[in-house]
Copies of this chain bind each other. A is one copy, B any other.
Amino acid sequence: MSANINATLSALAEPKRLQIVELLREGPLTVGEIAEKLELLQPQTSKHLGVLNKAGLVEVKAQANMRIYKLCQQPFKDLDGWLTSFEHVWEERFDRLDEYLQKLQGKD
């Protein structure tokens, strides 16, 4: 499974879904609990959870007539790995603006 950073970012970009994900850091919750804590209507809660599920960010476990949602770890690890690829950018010698300017000058 290659890391689909795009899918992960798209799913997280929606404010309410971000809230849901942040809430689920505390632990698994049912749809009803999520809706109550975030003051969302049940249908939109289910829909957002569906999107998160499709993106692979959460998984479901049926329990009686309830569904318990919890976070998956892989996409977050993938996202963290992706961010790691930026680390060298922050090192001073990689802020190549001056170098770049000189290159531009040289073109004249």
Q: How many copies of this kind of chain does the complex include? A: 2
Chain B residues closer than 8 Å to A97, beta-carbon distance? 28, 61, 68, 70
A16 to B102, CA, bound (A): 28
Interface bin, chain A: 35 or more
A37 contacts B by Cβ under 8 Å: no
A10 contacts B by Cβ under 8 Å: yes
Cβ A86 vs Cβ B76 within 8 A: yes
A79 contacts B by Cβ under 8 Å: yes
Interface residues of A (CB under 8 A from B): 5-6, 9-10, 12-13, 15, 18, 25, 27-29, 61, 63, 66, 68, 70-71, 73, 76-77, 79-80, 83, 85-86, 88-90, 94-97, 99-101, 104
